[in-house]
Chain A
Amino acid sequence: MTRIALSLTINGQTHDVLAEPHRTLLDVLRTDLGLIGTKENCLEAECGVCTVLLEGAAVNACILLAAQCQGRAIVTIEGLAAPGQLHPLQRAFIDHGAVQCGYCIPGMILAAKAYLDTNPEPDGDGVREALAGNLCRCTGYQRIIDAVLSAARALRTSPPSQAAR
């Protein structure tokens, strides 16, 4: 199949790739660019492990064509904080024991990020609603909700110096 040249803006950097037009963003991220922090599971927009930010909104990269994302800002878990640093959400997930196997966590954190960006003062129900598209089979969600609420507080008092691009 013929490949097309794509120029993708991921975590503030431009990546030029050659890919067949039917390839998904998830596939290109993981296979071509080695950005494996974005996870793969159902491939049908049901589990949320592939969540990335597209122009700040949480989307499932498994059903998005890479070609559709040209010229739009994409943030993956790798771009949430500078290397060696943690975003307050990442910090809170660790501190609250919200991480077990961890496979759902990158998607969960990005879904939470998108939500907090527009809802800086959330309540538990709001967070539960916002994360309902992200399955976690290990934690029972409670610690995840608590982590997001506490990160929201932290973000209100001291926004990260190195915010996501």
Chain B
Amino acid sequence: MDAPGKVTGTALYAADFALPGMLYGKVLRSSEPHARLVRIDAGRAARLPGVRAVITAADVPDVRYGGSVKDERVFARDRIRFAGQPLAAVAATSPDAAAAALTAIEVVCEPLRPVFDVAAALAPGAPLVHDAWASYTALPILHRDGNVCNRARIVVGDVERGFVEADRVFENRFTTSSVHQGYTEPRAAVAQWDSSGQVTVWSNTQLPFEIQTTLAEILQLPPSKVRVIVPGIGGGFGGKLRIGVEHFAALLAMKTGRPVKVMTTSEEELTAAYARQPATVAVKTGVTNDGRLTAREARLWFDTGAFAGSGPGVASVATLMLAGPYRIPNLLLEGFAVYTNKTNFGSFRAPSGPQANFAVESQMDIIADALGLDPLELRLKNIVREGEEGPTGQVLTAVGLEECLRRAADAIGWRDRRPEVGRGKGIACGWWTTTGGSSGVYVKVNPDGTVALNTGAAEIGTAALTGAAQVLAEDLGVQMADINVVSADTLSTPFDFGAQGSRTAFAVGNACRAAVADLKRQILALASKHLGVEESALALREGSVVGAGKRATLGELARISQASGGGLIAHGTFVAPPTPYDTKRVEGHVYPAFHSPSFHAHATDLSVDAETGEITIHRYVVAQDVGFAMNPAAIEGQIEGGVAQGLGQALSEEIVYENGRVLNANLTDYKMPTARDVPRVESILVQHPSLVGPFGAKGVGEPPNIEPPAAIANAVASATGVRITSLPITAEKVALALRERAK
């Protein structure tokens, strides 16, 4: 919808946004991973040319904020908890002057014993990342203990009995690395205060309403005094959900009385953003000789970094992913979010999905190999089917998984799994949620018959709002080109839970349907009066109301209404109906069921160079149950992009830490796939309509990111006989494993 503006360079993004007289803000970040902050002296920095303000913890309200655990402050006050933690911020007349001022701020601190990974954080006698954790305000549902800021659990049946019933029990351990969302537009915000004490923040957040709430908390203002507007977003993928630079911009603007812009550097992105949590996963699965899964005990530990952030929620989602899309009668699944002295890792497209899926889908192949079964057959034997229960007792409907598996396997020529030496095929499958939450829209008919869609959701590049507009156009019988979208302004647009969790097209689309139902009533009533025709004899068709040989265009009716009734406008809302589940099966869980779940299978055919370990992908096929393919090209675009990102995580991407510091905090050393690296991705859209999605659609944005690591690992194992259990699966790692085996 907005493509012409984007290809001509006229589309405005938050990073482009500027105001007259604007200052530039920069953030001083700690170089120490864990320390007592003794003193911070900004006196010299404040006197440098061009510097208009320097702020530290002493200048801001002492507020602890956070979505699930209130454990974070704007600036470190007495304790530094990760290398990259904000200590101070500067506003100056140019970015260079601000950067120069940062180096003039004196920081004195005393290093403390750190915990750099989950194992260290959970060891007996480990230092606590938050000594006062127990006193923090937190969601009461969480199970917290010392460095664990949540333990989410699912218990079904009796795993011990399930293991006794099994003929074989498999135990494997997997690890995954932290990867960055890699959006091409840095996080950016411009803030400006007005004389009424209201602050307006233009930001590229995916969740303007959440940023409004968080800013209000930090600034100690009523939410109505905080207005968040999203001018445009250059990619988010979950990395722009939580507060990023908005608070620095707002605080510096307050102090200087000038508009202030803050934008992150690549170094800040890779050291102090919301990259994906690294995970350690232990999976123990019992199976009968003929391949029936009898029990699974699995634990996944997320390194959540210095603050809880998304961790407790993502640890919850992980437990559903550990079950896999399988029917396993006995389950004990636990997800942990563990504090360490690293950045607060966060949500990245299908948070927890790739980590858990890599573990359980790798193990499925390990099991199949050990039992002499075909991996596809083993999956088909155990997958959930229509009407069966998910791990927490939700009843599954519109389950297109068998079709996904069979079609992906067929497409890739599964029968011939090892066509030549060093070449093999792999498959992996999974399920995912369509996030719920509520959406509201206003739909207004303009005097020329075009239609304005006013939504609180931001278009983040996934064409999700285009999808919602398509639903609107379809329902109202107008052309897509006649729909204008106004979006994401917390002051004027209706509430929306935000562009997250594959929900936008789904929820905003449904809200549009509700608005259209109301709007149609208004239109028909007005047309009936105007045309002198019974309402029952009228119908809305192609932008006009017609009946009894008469006709009135939407534009005409809008003009009549404007002259006499305030215009044609409707408010539509949607909230995903709760998915019933068995509350007795879960503990510490903030995401106990998957709404309108989607199902998917990825299959790949690749070769591995025996010498270098280099992987060449010949084919990559995705079969995804999207419910209903409203806009196939846009969905395929999501699949292609999601797979490319997933392949990055599978093959090359890793934020490398050494003693709590990032070694590759630049885009030269943090390797994202380029046009040279990504293979052609073939998409198969499977359609088992969901009962609640608009026309049966399910969320499509996140799933393609889930299976690539497992599909690649399984294909590499099939090609070489070597099983790689840690991500990324780099050429060096594969070559080393091949050499080890040859010994």
- Residues of A near any B CB (own CB < 8 A): 22, 30-31, 35-44, 46-47, 49, 76-78, 80-81, 86, 90, 93-94, 97, 99-106, 109, 127-129, 131-145
Contacts and interface: CB of A to CB of B under 8 A. Distances in A.
A102 B676 contact: no
A1 to B, nearest CB: 9
Contacts of B675: 127-129, 131-132, 134, 136, 141, 144-145
Given A141-B678, A142-B640, 13 more contacts: A42-B666, A44-B667, A78-B9, A97-B637, A100-B641, A101-B185, A105-B7, A134-B674, A135-B674, A136-B184, A137-B235, A137-B641, A138-B461
A86 B644 CA distance: 29
Contact of A90 (B8, B461, B462, B636): B8
B2 interface: yes
Nearest to B646: A140
A102 B11 contact: yes
A108 B12 CA distance: 17
A103 B234 contact: yes
Most chain B CB atoms below 10 A, which of A46, A135, A141: A141
Contacts of B236: 101
7 contacts: A36-B16, A41-B15, A102-B2, A103-B184, A134-B675, A137-B645, A142-B681
Given A142-B681, A145-B675, A102 B666 contact: no
Interface of B, helix, strand, loop or mixed by DSSP: loop
A135 B672 contact: yes
B350 to A, nearest CB: 15
B633 A41 contact: no
A101 B668 contact: no
Contacts of B237: 137
Q: What 8 pairs across the A-B complex have the smallest Cβ distances?
A: A37-B9, A101-B461, A103-B234, A102-B6, A140-B640, A140-B644, A77-B9, A46-B667
Contacts of B462: 100
B7 A90 contact: yes
Given A101-B233, A102-B234, A142-B640, A137 B181 contact: yes
Contact of A86 (B4, B12, B266, B668): B4
Nearest to A103: B234
B184 A44 contact: no
Contacts of A140: 637, 640-644, 678, 681
B186 interface: yes
B634 interface: yes
A93 B4 CA distance: 9
B3 interface: yes
A132 B12 CA distance: 25
A102 B633 contact: no
A74 B182 CA distance: 29
Contact of A100 (B18, B266, B463): B463
Nearest to A136: B184
A139 B7 contact: no
B8 A78 contact: yes
Contacts of A103: 13, 15, 183-185, 234-235, 461
B704 to A, nearest CB: 9
A94 B666 CA distance: 31
A70 to B, nearest CB: 21
B288 interface: no
B643 A102 contact: no
Given A49-B184, A143-B637, A93 B676 contact: no
B550 interface: no
B94 to A, nearest CB: 9
A129 B637 CA distance: 21
B608 interface: no
A76 B184 contact: no
Contacts of A101: 183-185, 233-236, 460-461
Nearest to B674: A132
Interface string B696-732: 0000000000000000000000000000000000000
Interface string B3-29: 111111111110110100000000000
Given A100-B463, A128-B676, A47 B641 contact: no
Interface string B399-438: 0000000000000000000000000000000000000000
A143 B18 CA distance: 32
A129 B186 contact: no
A30 B4 CA distance: 20
A77 B7 CA distance: 8
A131 B675 CA distance: 6
A129 B674 CA distance: 9
B675 to A, nearest CB: 4
B666 A99 contact: no
Interface string B630-652: 00011011001111110000000
Given A46-B668, A97-B634, A128-B675, A102 B3 contact: yes
Nearest to B643: A140
Contact of B8 (A86, A132, A133, A143): A86
Contacts of B47: none
A113 to B, nearest CB: 12
Most buried by A among B5, B185, B462: B185
Contact of A30 (B10, B16, B642, B667): B16
Contacts of A39: 13, 15-16, 184-185, 234
Contacts of B633: 97
Residue from B6, B184, B265, B640 whose CB has the most chain A CB atoms within 10 Å: B184
A74 to B, nearest CB: 14
Nearest to A124: B680
Given A104-B184, A137-B183, A138-B461, A94 B3 contact: yes
A99 B7 contact: yes
A47 B184 contact: yes
A109 B7 CA distance: 8
A106 B8 CA distance: 7
Interface in B210-242: 233-237
Nearest to B676: A132
B657 to A, nearest CB: 21
Given A30-B16, A41-B186, A132-B674, A36 B9 contact: yes
A26 B684 CA distance: 42
A21 to B, nearest CB: 12
Residue among B9, B18, B637, B641 having the largest count of chain A Cβ atoms under 10 Å: B9
A100 B466 CA distance: 11
A129 B633 CA distance: 25
Contacts of A131: 674-675
Given A86-B7, A101-B460, A102-B6, A139 B641 contact: yes
Interface in B613-666: 633-634, 636-637, 640-645, 666
B6 A105 contact: yes
Nearest to B4: A94
A136 B678 CA distance: 11
Contacts of A80: 8
A147 B645 CA distance: 21
Contacts of B184: 39, 41, 47, 49, 101, 103-104, 135-137
A46 B666 contact: yes
Nearest to B461: A101
Nearest to A27: B95
Interface string B448-467: 00000000000011110000
